[in-house]
Amino acid sequence: MKRKLHSVEEFHEYFRRIKESFLPSEEYVSPELDRNREYHRVERVDLRELPDKAVVFVRGVSFGADYKIRVDDTTEGRKVNIWRNMRANGLIGSLESVVSMVENLTFEEGVIIKGNSQLVMPYFKYKSGSVEKPTDMWMDVPLIILVQYADRK
């Protein structure tokens, strides 16, 4: 779903809601891309269309901006687990909390697009080896997007 924002105030409120939707996860091991399974290099991925346990790897243009995102079906609905530091816990939030800015103040929710869009992610801040609840957001341009499905060889 595309969402067009019309003011700076609306922009700040939108980002505040996204930040608040993410919570630290209890999972401390990020999923690895399995070398024995096929992965797909894509230009665009709609997280809402991925099956349970699919893993998305995103590398941004900024140094060290690597993310692993796993789609999870839960009793509360579909969620994403996001890791930035592969040796610490990640954040968990709704699929719609991962957004891409596709044009000025227009965002596509639940979608990651390579190239001419900005991926909006929670800013990862760590204390004693664990990620804290995000207090800020980070924007980066995706260079590489890989998708691996849990149920396919």
Query: Please, are residues 80 and 91 in contact by the beta-carbon 8 Å criterion?
Result: no
Task: Give 100-123 as a DSSP string.
Answer: EEEETTEEEETEEESSSSEEEEEP
Task: Note the pLDDT of residue 82.
Answer: 93
pTM of the model: 0.89
Instruction: Kindly list the domain boundaries of the chain, sorted by start residue.
Output: 2-148
> Residues with Cβ < 8 Å from 4, sequence gap 6 or more?
105, 106
The closest of 82, 114, 105 to 95, measured between CA atoms, is 82
By three-state DSSP, how is residue 23 classified?
A: strand
Task: Note the pLDDT of residue 152.
Answer: 59
Tens-level pLDDT at each residue, the chain (153 residues): 889 999 999 999 999 999 999 999 988 878 877 777 788 899 999 999 999 999 999 999 988 788 999 999 999 899 999 998 777 899 999 999 999 999 888 999 999 988 879 999 888 888 888 999 998 988 999 999 999 987 655
